[in-house]
Amino acid sequence: MLRIMLCGAHDTERYREDFVEVASGFDAEVWHYLSGDILHINHAQASWVTNSRDTVRNAHVCVFVIVESFGSITWQTELREALAVGKPILVLCLDKTYQAYKTLTRDVALSAVTDPDRRKLIEIIHEVGSERQLTIVPFSYGKFTEKLKSQLSRLFEQALGQMEVRNRRAAVARILSEASRLSRSELLLSAEIAVDEFENKISRKQAIRALAAHRAADEETILTLLSSMEQGVQRLTVELLPQLYAERMADPEFFAHCIAVANRSADVGVARRLIPALLDIDLPTAVRAMATLQLVESGARRRLAETLETYEPHLVDPEVVQGVCALLDRCLTSESEADWKARCRAFHERLTADQRRDDAEPM
């Protein structure tokens, strides 16, 4: 059953019957602390705060109502918990209170408000509406039922819209492995799947391959994928970059962004994969961009030298040749990182020296 939680100070009691009437129209169960309809376990360590937090987590929708009073648990516990776990939220405020808030904040300094409860109420309305940028819906006397019903209907409409999107994505996901079957609209959905950090990783990778096969990724999509927090998605994007970026003029800014991504990444595989990918897209632009590529890792230096060598027959432009020579000079140095073999050899020598010293000491 749908569970709707009414959150607010003690003065929300005057709207509780209206709230129950509207919720019942949606065949929902109403949770509200004034009626004891919250999750709770009575024991020696029982806490209203803990009970309220647990109730928020198990509710489907949280409706915060501001009348005239401030409720500390409502705003310091329930609101923060609802935002933290991603609950759908509605915020309704008595229009008289909301107008008074706007007048006070426009014409009077907060320090001039002497009533502590009134000051707290002003602060929370400011936090909700300005700092957190949640939409506050005013309601007038006698119109609470109508306003709540309207807002809940819109919320469910949005939820159904999200279900529709998920269903369309699921239909596309079933044929991602057969890229040739994808229509233009399905490719647009594939792009949405690819960039969604909460989507299944396998589906995201299949979507990236489909976009690459159709040369259907726009630059914004590519940049988003390059910055993905999912290592496998980022690596695959770099590998398929020549196909994803196909049919475009080489843009120095795009290349510079790719280099910046590799420089920021803790994954050494990004730089190693990016080197051949950028050179495959456009040799002169890639050579110029790689002047800023950090080559602290020996594998990246080796990959760069080996890949550049494969392009030797194409090196005819003096400027490009000069840039390649500069890159090769950097590959031959190890200023940022001592050679791992040398470190390994020194480590081995230290260990064997210690062992010989221990063997030489008299028993």
Token pair belonging to 174: 């079933």
Average the pLDDT over 111-127 and give the result: 77
The closest alpha carbon to 208, from 189, 182, 231, 233, belongs to 233
Distances in whole angstroms, Cα of residue 217 to Cα of each of 105, 168, 195: 47, 19, 11
Q: What is residue 37's DSSP assignment? A: B
Q: Is the Cβ–Cβ distance between 301 and 337 less than 8 Å?
A: no
Q: Where are the beta strands (DSSP E) in 72-189?
A: 89-94, 136-139
Average the pLDDT over 237-262 and give the result: 92
**Res 352: pLDDT:** 72
**Res 60: pLDDT:** 93
**Res 336: pLDDT:** 47
Average the pLDDT over 246-275 and give the result: 92
**Res 109: pLDDT:** 63
pTM of the model: 0.63
Cβ count near 288 (within 10 Å): 17
Q: Which DSSP string do the residues of 236-290 spell out, in sequence order?
A: HHHHTHHHHT-SSPPPHHHHHHHHHHHHH-S-HHHHHHHHHHHHHH-HHHHHHHG
Mean pLDDT rounded to a whole number for the chain: 86
**Segment 123-178, tens digit of pLDDT:** 888 888 888 889 999 999 889 999 999 999 999 999 999 898 888 888 888 888 88
Token pair belonging to 215: 């040369």
Please provide residue 262's backbone torsions phi and psi, each rounded to the nearest 5 degrees: -65, -40
Average the pLDDT over 235-251 and give the result: 91
**Segment 275-322, tens digit of pLDDT:** 999 999 999 999 999 999 998 888 999 999 999 999 988 888 989 999
